Chain A
Amino acid sequence: MKPNGKPQILIAGIGMTPVGEHWEISLRNLALDAISAAIADAGGLRPQALYVANMLAPALSGQSHLGALLADYSGLRGAEATTIESAGASGGIAARQAYLALASGAIEVALVLGVEKVTDKDSRQVEAALATASDADYEAIQGVTAGAQAALLMRRYLYEHAAPDDALAGFSLTAHQNGVSNPNAMFRKAISLDQYANAPMVSEPLNTYDAAPMADGAAALVLARGEILPQDNSHPRVEIVGSAAATAAFAVHDQPDPLTLAAAAASARSALMQSELQTEQVDLFELHDRFSIFAALSLEAAGFAERGAGWKLAKDGEIGLNGRIPICTFGGSKARGEPGAATGVYQLAEAISQLQGRAGMNQVPEAAIALVQCLGGAGATAATHVLRRISNEI
């Protein structure tokens, strides 16, 4: 317990697999790799409960019931385990569920796993599976893909804010720059503005560099109540000081203002309020750049820019590792790769690496406070966490 009577929830360990097209690795083995790495990083601490973030296994692997499958396969047979599905926000929502269980005192050690296997099916089936995160009766039936939804928002954004065609280029350039030195990133090559401007279209005005590649991956976190974590844990202590989730209107066309991510804004506000921190105190923001337009909209929703001004942060270089508000510090979904429901867990593990000073070439100087947010669908769900490094003496 902390002096204010609140329970203290700490990070005990993290584990990530490289993101990519892993033809040789199965869903369960991806999960095992991440879980084993996280438990080893936590000094062998054994979780009592497993929260599995996954969206696509029923459609793309013919496999549901991942909680029991992966607990069994990863040597945690007997542990409480369940699957959490909130589309692209699943990873953050799973962390939130683990946080709530730990805060309640019902358990002392929890494992959060995000895992997604997308390369066993062809692109038509993947697009159809991803489109199930939108409104099946009123969006997907019209043949609207996730990329098309983002393109609709992007075109409207550029139109309403009179922004240039390459307004969002900086998000892609920064992500690719940060991906170069991330060993887990799918793309480890910087790109130029010229390459961006000449990239083939996915759905006008959205081009291939505005869209993150769907890929296989798994990441895991071991979370624990503060009182049970040994003081000699080898890593600097990182605490979850804010945890929030919210929903907005489900379909894009049902949003009162499609260019305002209401759930992202509400969950960021709530997480920051819990942490008693202001937006200005945040050292880095792991946002969900599945499409570059969402980077701009997320910066605006969290209060780093006014409505319509988020794109200017990318243009002015404020989002780089040494900028005012570094984002996607390991390449984000654009360069690290977008492993669906696992994304939120990667984001948390990356932010934790930053706060523990383990980010290597990607290190944000003196990073102590991180805001971490993932989005489901076109923002109908958002999960936001605030992480803070604390001194080992506490």
Chain B
Amino acid sequence: METSRHWRLRQQRYALVGEVCPNCEVKIFPPRDICPDCGEEARQLYQFSGRGEVYSHTTVYQAPAGHTDNVPYPVAIVRLEEGPLVTAQLTDLDDRSVEIGMPVEMVTRKLRADGERGMLVYGYKFRPRLKQGEAN
């Protein structure tokens, strides 16, 4: 079931909580406790805005176990506005085609299901960024 494993990651999965390096101020996601840029310890939490743009994207047709109910599904690497790249599914695309550079924002969605009685895992995906005033 791996319940504790997913629970441990709740801040990352639901709120994009990473870290900021107290030494060089680089923003870090996923958190790793050691700054990838300067090598100093970096345990200060930092919540990302959730806004970014598509760095690259594709579609998965032949899914691994746990994801087969959702095929085909779009996945992307997103450049967060604070700097880091993050791998995530895209969602709420409707008929919109995806392009590199497209503005996106983080939302919480179901990531995987382990059969009818298994655990559901929720986490971040990214959708096209809504214009101000657009219904959420």
What is A's interface to B at a CB cutoff of 8 Å?
A: 123-125, 127-128, 130-131, 135, 137-145, 147-148, 151-153, 155-156, 159, 201-206, 249, 251-254, 258
Query: B55 within 8 Å of A by Cβ?
Result: yes
In contact, B64 and A141 (Cβ under 8 angstroms): no
In contact, A145 and B30 (Cβ under 8 angstroms): no
Interface size on B, residues (CB 8 A): 35
Closest to B8 in A: A137
In contact, A145 and B100 (Cβ under 8 angstroms): no
A135 to B31, CA, bound (A): 13
- CB-defined contacts of A135 to chain B, threshold 8 Å: 30, 87
Which of B9, B68, B70, B87 is in CB contact (< 8 Å) with A139? Answer: B87
Query: B11 within 8 Å of A by Cβ?
Result: no
Which of A128, A152, A253 is in CB contact (< 8 Å) with B66? Answer: A128
Q: Distance in Å from the Cβ of A141 to the closest Cβ of chain B?
A: 6
Q: Distance in Å from the Cβ of B33 to the closest Cβ of chain A?
A: 14
In contact, B87 and A145 (Cβ under 8 angstroms): no
What is B's interface to A at a CB cutoff of 8 Å?
A: 5, 9, 12, 30, 36, 55-68, 70, 73, 75-77, 84-89, 100, 111-112, 121, 123
Which secondary structure dominates where chain B touches chain A? strand
- CB-defined contacts of B88 to chain A, threshold 8 Å: 142
Closest to A124 in B: B65
Q: Distance in Å from the Cβ of A161 to the closest Cβ of chain B?
A: 13
In contact, A125 and B75 (Cβ under 8 angstroms): no
Interface centre among A124, A143, A206, A249 (most CB of B within 10 A): A143
A131 to B76, CA, bound (A): 16
In contact, B58 and A206 (Cβ under 8 angstroms): yes
A138 to B67, CA, bound (A): 15
- CB-defined contacts of A251 to chain B, threshold 8 Å: 30, 87
- CB-defined contacts of B9 to chain A, threshold 8 Å: 137
Q: Distance in Å from the Cβ of B18 to the closest Cβ of chain A?
A: 11
Closest to A143 in B: B67
In contact, B56 and A159 (Cβ under 8 angstroms): yes
| 28 pairs of residues in contact across A and B, judged by CB atoms under 8 Å | A123-B62, A124-B68, A128-B66, A137-B5, A137-B9, A138-B12, A143-B64, A143-B67, A143-B70, A143-B73, A143-B75, A144-B75, A145-B60, A145-B62, A147-B62, A151-B58, A152-B87, A153-B56, A155-B57, A155-B100, A201-B59, A202-B62, A204-B58, A252-B77, A253-B77, A253-B85, A253-B87, A258-B85
